[in-house]
Amino acid sequence: MVRRMDLRNEISEFLRSRRARITPEQAGLGAGTGRRVPGLRREEVAVLASISVDWYVRIERGNLSGVSDEVLVALAAALQLDEAELSHLRDLARAAGAPRRAVSSAPAALRPGLQTVIDAMQGLPAWARDHRFDIVATNQLARALYDDLLSSAIAKGNNARFTFLDPAAREFYADWAKTADDVVAVLRGYVGANPSDRRLTTLVGELATGSADFSRRWAAYEVKYHRTGRKTLRHRVVGELDLGFEALALPDSSTVSLFVYYPADEPTRERLQLLESWYAGEDPADRSAPRSSIGQHQPETHPRTDR
């Protein structure tokens, strides 16, 4: 099980994976001959970033200590990094130059006022999760929507654990493969931004141990933001829901994000109304765990379910 991030290895893997995906033609260089591996050579990246080959080799071996932001931006241009990837590179550089410090393992704290705002969103599922993918707050419609996740003995309120370790997720997420890709790519960014968070790296180790699908995606080293988009969910009571979503960063928290779903078509709007009515009329003893338990999770190891 992972206990702490190997920062030098993270830096090296990230840069090598980005270098391997850029062809000389994409970088505006001649293809040349005698290439044994795809992608750019180290010396080509150095030329594109206007730094020495020796310096780039040192960086790609995992040493970002003392590297300026100007050099990071030049490397991002040479490797054609997008916004999320550049942010990840900056996080890795920041971690390389900062002393390790202990990080609280307690669930993320949520302001009471934010819970009031979430509860006031009528007709729209609204929920918040932290950087460990623990769901820390929901309104009633979101609790109804994610009833299977919140009541899962395997997931314990954690969406990453639900996605990869609970077989029910493959039915709940209509496009499970895309959801899985997104979870891993976003989690990669969180790990880079929070390298001393042992609870977070323990979660990664748990998922890698329990899911070959997670391990394969983790090795690909994709990094992305998850800010807006469309998602189709299959709810066991009301059926298929076509939803759009917006993710909102909280100004005073770097670890908690608020998600709001909205119906993408009229049938989904009607099914959301039906879902809200069903949840309000059900006996709570027959549904998920009470809201007060959301966020109170302890990681545990599960056998592989996807081999």
pLDDT, tens only, 190-204: 999 888 899 999 999
Tell me the per-residue pLDDT of 77-133, one tens digit each, with 9 for 90 and over. Answer: 999 999 999 999 999 999 887 655 555 555 566 777 888 989 999 899 999 999 999
pLDDT band at 307 (very low <50, low <70, confident <90, very high): very low
pLDDT, mean of residues 243-267 = 89
94-98, 163-167, 238-242: the lowest-pLDDT one = 94-98
Q: How far apart are the first and last CA of the chain?
A: 19
User: Is the separation of the CB atoms in 146 and 136 below 8 Å?
Assistant: no
pLDDT confidence of residue 251: 72
Long-range contacts of residues 85-93, Cβ cutoff 8 Å, at least 24 apart: 85/18, 85/223, 87/189, 88/14, 88/188, 88/189, 88/192, 88/193, 88/223, 89/14, 91/189, 91/192, 91/193, 92/7, 92/10, 92/11, 92/14, 92/64, 92/192, 93/64, 93/67, 93/69
Class of domain 112-293: alpha beta
Domain ranges in the chain are: 7-96, 112-293
289-298 in b/e burial notation, b at 16+ Cβ within 10 A? beeeebbebe
User: Would you say the CATH fold of 112-293 matches that of 7-96?
Assistant: no
- Assigned fold of 7-96: 434 Repressor (Amino-terminal Domain) (1.10.260)
Return the residue matching tokens 């080959």.
53
Q: Which of 162, 164, 154, 174 is nearest to 217 (CA)?
A: 164
